[in-house]
Amino acid sequence: MVTYPFEMATIAALGGDEMVGTYYGLYNTVSGIGIAVGNMLSGAALDAGRAAGVPSLPWWALAAVGIACALAIRALARSGRLVPVRERSREPATA
């Protein structure tokens, strides 16, 4: 809930003026699928860790996934792929 406004602002900034609704829809679809799959895998990992006698192992794995995501965002930012789309100049129509 805390990051949602920032996510929506980022989508609007990166998407520019065109197809913003499509970007929001795609983002929400992918997020929903990711949340469902992530919850199922996290639950299975917690059960497996408990059954193996290492209940902290899934938590370490989840922390590693978080760190990997943060590093991926940093790499995207350094490569310039998170730069907002600038307004495109429109050339006047010639007759």
| DSSP codes of every residue in 56-72 | THHHHHHHHHHHHHHHH
pLDDT of 20-41, one tens digit each?
Answer: 889 899 999 999 999 999 999 9
91 SS3 class: coil
Confidence of residue 85 (pLDDT cuts 50, 70, 90): low
Alpha-carbon gap, residue 10 to 51, rounded angstroms: 41
| Mean pLDDT computed over 61-66 | 92
What's the pTM? Answer: 0.63
pLDDT of 7-19, one tens digit each?
Answer: 888 888 887 778 8
